[in-house]
Structure 1
């Protein structure tokens, strides 16, 4: 029926075309004849195209249909391009911000919703757990810019008493005003730093915990009159394990006396050996039994964690003693603290510590920088000698001119600490016990044998957030009894590692949570859901981009399903053509 109608229209138009062309040719006025004929034919062609159902067939892929998954941080303006797309979200907060989105509860639901179509993810993306549930669904990621705030953060969360907390991160300040970051702990401000406007800057904040046990520090941002809590930094501070320390000196002196008494008062086991004449020594013992110290042997040195002595004493050791010391340092992790003096004999202990001795009088007492702390120590008199930097060394103490006064280096399994200071007891005489303690704590903790004691904690917990799933791993040859927050949980055995047992923990509240395995209680700190928002955003963006990259490497692409479709030609063009042709014929008739 449609074919017959088309034929009738075409025949009528052809007849009309012949008739109208004949009439134009019969007109007495022959001017513009060819233009009139063309106009007549174009008018009839346009009329036929208006009447006839014109169109063409082509192939269209099914995945031209779009589905959108909105995640935290999405920009609503970026959705304008996808007017007819289905919009979904896994986040209640996103649903409230964009009511048009349909709320789904698990990522695997997207399998059915996006079948034979393209999936687009807007915002910061998905967490590793959510990406795992997608189960190979390919999608296009449209990441949003990171929000203002901390985008990267880390700190040493397991400390030994006397060790400093160092919190480092990156802050994205996209505002036109400066931001002041403050680190709070124990109800006081421990440290602060200023972030300039419109910058992304690294920062470092420090604090010295006053108590042992579990403590929570927090980072705050102050912008004008607004104060915002950014996140918590929980730490565990363990009591310092009393070390066994041997002090050997060329003669009895105040430096050895004060150091021996300070170490003994801290609970350290201390043995001192001071030469009083050739091959004769005076020995003292604090918090430990008497030992023969006249000859340094490997068996004797193995009883100590750190040996402290003047460089002249070490260079005066016999070959057997020197070899024993070198063996214990390189093989068994013994630490050595060397105090520079006037010794002229070279020693392997000074290999990486070149000492510079400028001429002139001794400098006036001045403050020192210990362990890179921003607050300087009390003033201390010192000679002009300082240590030149060498590759592989780590400066520990310096003066205000950035000259190194104490430095350390690795030596096999052990460490060597070298210092040009030999009158630190002056701090004690001046009442600066805190500076004295900070100096020797820094040197001894750096040199001491590695502590084999493990900290309490939970494997693979990472930074945990409330209302987010946290993967926990427990090690046991048999199914362990694990109690979390007072309830026994069911564990899943790792199929590839039989002694590992996994549990997906989903805490709803922030704070400390109790985890007990085999009657041993451990604590896990859970951050508030809104803590470290910038860090969470960056982790999601990185995880999502990694997911995309893995899919590209595996050659996984969206399945292309082609379908033949008919595209209708818009009639508006033919109406315009008909109007133009008729207008020309009317004007030409008027002026003829």
Structure 2
């Protein structure tokens, strides 16, 4: 059929050429006869070429590989070769980029030799489905928003919540980050434009139990901050004072006001003591023993009083600190007796004029008002941790571990001056640091739950559970299989798909625990950063080794563009028309 059509077109064009050439020859005016005949023949030939497919033989370069492009969130349209085999697993991407073919899962890439991934990439679970398929990753620019986030998700009542991270501000405007909880703004910070900025927000929650705070960038929700706040048991404090003094009196009052249980013994003469009991059952403090010390979490004593204890009392105190974790706060005084308590805290008191009152650095923060701290200071020793220093670096309060317990040594004996001047803030900050650092650790055991990445609803969550012994694991009252880590015997892992957003309950070894499953849109920039990192690591291991694949030269028939023949036909006809007009 095609051959008949070709012959027909050629025959018609030849007849047209002969007919029009004969007409030109018969004209009376023989001027430009040769050019007119050539124009007629050229017009007929151009018409034939327009009607017929005119081709020539040429060579093209092809590759022998079966490549594909996978589009993920964040990809740049301009960077994608539209002639490639473009795939995606996201219906939203398919809608935005119709040239992509929607596939049901990554298992459909099994026939692909090499894969190019554009955008933010894939998460660890999705990368595992590639089954070592070589890839080249073309990462998108970092997403705008909170790209890294961390906070202390389990705290005790009275402790501060710290929310730290990095915000990537890609706009030309400032951004205000706001930490919100219980429909109230708790802390905020303004971040500069066009920068990646570290931030640190903090607040002290006034409630207990499970709560969910949120972080907002202006009006845009960045993500949820689940928090579990456990009530604290009142600490029991034993105070041993060489004599009734202002420092002991104000400290006793502060401990009482803050809910501590306090027993105070102050010497009034040799072998005679005055005892007070606040929020605690009375017990004899005349002779101290292991049974006495084990009833308390912290012992605060003057150095002279602790040095004057009998050998039996000293031995009981040492054992309680080293073996059972009793916290010990020692207040330096005028005693000159060598003591086991000062082994790591040598005190130097140089001669000369006392320095002027100055602000102190309490746990890395400057005090609000000044204090007359005198000449005495603690000589720093390796293995100790200073808690309070002067601006010049002199250590006034130091701490060290002693077995299971901690010893805090202070060279300050007039902190009550802060309270007398109306500055309760610095006084409270000072003694809170000392008591918290020294206090006996809570012996309550709770299984620890960790995650390799934030768990999201309807996605597999990999739980790592630290447990002293194995037992059945119940998540939301469903029995879930767990596997023991062969390298860490007390660590178990389990996979779980949370079906709802919110707190998920865990029960193991008779103990209750919980963790939080996030909504899909929580921490979008954090998810993007995690996928970019995971995909880069995968690409480094499973590289496309021959990026420039072997090229094959192949002979093919190539169509001649019709535009050339249209131009020739138009030129021939124009010449014939003009020549006729002016002859």
Task: Return the TM-score normalized by structure 1.
Answer: 0.71
Matched, 1:157 2:150: no
Matched, 1:281 2:273: yes
Task: Go from structure 1 to structure 2 and tell me whether the alpha carbon gap of 1:504 and 1:297 turns closer, same or farther (over 3 Å shift).
Answer: same
Instruction: Give the drift of 1:245.
Output: 2.0
Does structure 2 conserve the Cα–Cα contact (< 8 Å) formed by 1:336 and 1:415? yes
- The equivalent residue for 1:184 is 180
Does structure 2 conserve the Cα–Cα contact (< 8 Å) formed by 1:469 and 1:507? no
Q: How does 1:68-107 map to 2 (within 5 A)?
A: 68-80=69-81, 83-107=82-106
SS of corresponding position for 1:464: coil
- Distance in structure 2 (CA, Å) of the matches to 1:351 and 1:567: 90
Counterpart pick for 1:271 among 252, 263, 281: 263
Instruction: Give the drift of 1:167.
Output: 1.7
Instruction: Give the drift of 1:287.
Output: 3.7
- Distance in structure 2 (CA, Å) of the matches to 1:517 and 1:331: 29
Which shows bigger deviation, 296-305 or 386-395? Answer: 386-395
- The equivalent residue for 1:491 is 480
- Distance in structure 1 (CA, Å) of the matches to 2:64 and 2:70: 19
- Distance in structure 1 (CA, Å) of the matches to 2:304 and 2:523: 53
- The equivalent residue for 2:68 is 67
Does structure 2 conserve the Cα–Cα contact (< 8 Å) formed by 1:138 and 1:558? no
SS of corresponding position for 2:104: coil
Instruction: Give the drift of 1:160.
Output: 0.9
Q: How does 1:114-513 map to 2 (within 5 A)?
A: 114=112, 117-222=113-218, 227-264=219-256, 266-353=258-345, 359-360=352-353, 363-364=356-357, 370-372=362-364, 377=368, 382-383=373-374, 391-397=382-388, 405-426=396-417, 436-454=427-445, 460=451, 463-472=454-463, 479=472, 482-483=475-476, 489=478, 491-494=480-483, 502-509=494-501, 511-513=502-504
Does structure 1 conserve the Cα–Cα contact (< 8 Å) formed by 2:163 and 2:200? yes
- Distance in structure 2 (CA, Å) of the matches to 1:456 and 1:444: 26
Task: Return the TM-score normalized by structure 2.
Answer: 0.72
- Distance in structure 2 (CA, Å) of the matches to 1:567 and 1:311: 98
Which shows bigger deviation, 190-199 or 86-95? Answer: 190-199
Does structure 2 conserve the Cα–Cα contact (< 8 Å) formed by 1:491 and 1:501? no
For residues 239-274 of structure 1, what are the alpha-carbon distances to aligned partners after superposition, in whole Å with 9 as ceiling and x for unaligned?
111223221111122332343344345554332222
For residues 351-395 of structure 1, what are the alpha-carbon distances to aligned partners after superposition, in whole Å with 9 as ceiling and x for unaligned?
55565667545645x766654568x65666654655566554444
Task: Go from structure 1 to structure 2 and tell me whether the alpha carbon gap of 1:69 and 1:408 turns closer, same or farther (over 3 Å shift).
Answer: farther
Does structure 1 conserve the Cα–Cα contact (< 8 Å) formed by 2:59 and 2:553? no
Gaps of 5+ in 2: 1-54, 561-583
Which shows bigger deviation, 474-483 or 559-568? Answer: 559-568
Task: Go from structure 1 to structure 2 and tell me whether the alpha carbon gap of 1:495 and 1:233 turns closer, same or farther (over 3 Å shift).
Answer: closer
- The equivalent residue for 1:11 is none
Does structure 2 conserve the Cα–Cα contact (< 8 Å) formed by 1:88 and 1:103? yes
Instruction: Give the drift of 1:434.
Output: 5.8
Aligned length, in residue pairs: 501
- Distance in structure 1 (CA, Å) of the matches to 2:354 and 2:415: 19
- Distance in structure 2 (CA, Å) of the matches to 1:316 and 1:432: 34
Instruction: Give the drift of 1:158.
Output: 0.8
Which shows bigger deviation, 419-428 or 144-153? Answer: 419-428
Does structure 2 conserve the Cα–Cα contact (< 8 Å) formed by 1:211 and 1:237? yes
SS of corresponding position for 1:126: coil
For residues 170-194 of structure 1, what are the alpha-carbon distances to aligned partners after superposition, in whole Å with 9 as ceiling and x for unaligned?
2233444443333233444333334
Does structure 2 conserve the Cα–Cα contact (< 8 Å) formed by 1:250 and 1:274? yes
Gaps of 5+ in 1: 1-50, 573-592
Task: Go from structure 1 to structure 2 and tell me whether the alpha carbon gap of 1:53 and 1:540 turns closer, same or farther (over 3 Å shift).
Answer: closer
- The equivalent residue for 1:543 is 534
For residues 44-84 of structure 1, what are the alpha-carbon distances to aligned partners after superposition, in whole Å with 9 as ceiling and x for unaligned?
xxxxxxx996879x9x8743x3211122222222223xx43
Instruction: Give the drift of 1:566.
Output: 4.0
Task: Go from structure 1 to structure 2 and tell me whether the alpha carbon gap of 1:348 and 1:164 turns closer, same or farther (over 3 Å shift).
Answer: farther
- Distance in structure 1 (CA, Å) of the matches to 2:195 and 2:202: 22
For residues 73-120 of structure 1, what are the alpha-carbon distances to aligned partners after superposition, in whole Å with 9 as ceiling and x for unaligned?
22222223xx432222233333333232223333323224x2xx2111
- Distance in structure 2 (CA, Å) of the matches to 1:393 and 1:478: 40
Task: Go from structure 1 to structure 2 and tell me whether the alpha carbon gap of 1:100 and 1:566 turns closer, same or farther (over 3 Å shift).
Answer: closer
- Distance in structure 2 (CA, Å) of the matches to 1:279 and 1:418: 26
- The equivalent residue for 1:584 is none
- Distance in structure 2 (CA, Å) of the matches to 1:398 and 1:175: 42
SS of corresponding position for 2:92: helix
SS of corresponding position for 1:94: helix
